[in-house]
Amino acid sequence: MAALGAGSAVFGATRWPGPGPQQHRIAVGAEAPLYMPTAPAAYLPGTEQQSGGPTVTSAHCVDVPILLYHYIRVNPNARDRTGFMLSVPPAAFQAQMDWLHLNGVHTVTLEQVAAALDGKQTLPPHAIVITFDDGHDDFATRAVPLLLREHFVATTFVVPGFLGTSSYMTEAQVQQVYAEGMVIGAHTVHHVNLLHPPLAQAATEIAASKQLLEQMIDAPVLDFAYPYGANSPQIVALVEHAGFRDAVATTWGWQQCTANRYTLHRLEIVGQMDLATFAMAAQVPAPPPSWRDPGPPAG
């Protein structure tokens, strides 16, 4: 496993194999995403944190879940196990968002988290950050309509070099979701594992992705996500030098601190995850066994 940043920890994680040659260009490759098939120790009865929103644990830390999605779709290839794992069906995503809404969740941006870490603002109760990696077109067509219905905001980390190709947003869709209130973040130009190329090339991938997206939406792009979660102190320094305010990794955790401002923890939401496990990750109460998602309101 490539370095994921100092002090990272994955609880009870199982690594699935990455896609083979000629498969779709999703955020897996040699470094497959992490999936937690069972609840980590932090989820066990008697050890979970009480819900009620982000708790400031020190002058420089705040507890807030940052959720990570890839696809909102029914996986089109039954043999593609990685694609299945990364694909949250639309009905499941709707149930997740409805359950968050019923529990009084307030979605916030990484800008708000950074401001809270700097002591410039207080996050609302039940604060959660929702992120999507890679800039897939189902973010625009499936996720955003549901997010808007719940009055939620999310960040999509876009790979400019993939725009307009199969399963990815077009430039017009990026501009559309930004106009609808979503946040655009950068994810390198070509979704490269930044630990592999020379540092000069890595620096170009980082900085150019920011510049291209800023030109596209005519606004600053200040949030960054490491492809495959791969980073190192040198890569983190390049991200900071490029002018990003913060960056997210793929390490499990809820406590975000100034010390890991450029390796913020995220909780990956995958296709196999039931609603009770999702609720644990989001730090909201689990639904009762009898609960069924009512779906969107009539009309």
pLDDT for the residue numbered 296: 64
Dist. CA 284–CA 207, nearest whole Å: 37
Residue 178 lies in a domain: yes
Residue 67 lies in a domain: yes
pLDDT for the residue numbered 57: 45
Element (H, E) at 107: strand 106-107
Residue 164 lies in a domain: yes
Residue 238 lies in a domain: yes
103-117 mean pLDDT: 97
Residue 14 lies in a domain: no
248-296 confidence digits (pLDDT tens): 999 999 999 999 999 999 999 999 899 999 999 999 999 998 999 887 6
Range list of H helices, 87-232: 90-102, 110-117, 137-138, 144-149, 171-179, 199-217
Residue 5 lies in a domain: no
pTM, two decimal places: 0.82
Enumerate helices (H) and strands (E) in the chain, giving the number of each: 9, 15
pLDDT for the residue numbered 59: 54
**Residue 290 tokens, joined:** 């009898």
CATH number of the domain to which 69 belongs: 3.20.20.370
Residue 295 lies in a domain: no
Q: pLDDT grade, residue 17 (50/70/90)?
A: very low
- In the chain, the number of structural domains is 1
Please say if the pLDDT value at position 105 is more than 70. Answer: yes
228-250 mean pLDDT: 97
What is the domain range of residue 137?
25-41+52-282
Please say if the pLDDT value at position 10 is more than 60. Answer: no
43-100 confidence digits (pLDDT tens): 333 333 333 444 444 458 999 999 999 999 998 888 888 888 999 999 999 999 999 9
The percentage of residues in the chain with a pLDDT greater than 70, rounded to a whole number, is 79
Which range has the worst mean pLDDT, 45-59, 103-117, 158-172, 285-299? 45-59
Tell me 276's DSSP state. Answer: H
25-47 confidence digits (pLDDT tens): 333 333 333 333 333 333 333 33
Residue 193 lies in a domain: yes
Q: Distance of CA 290 to CAs 93, 115, 128, 141, Å? A: 18, 39, 25, 30
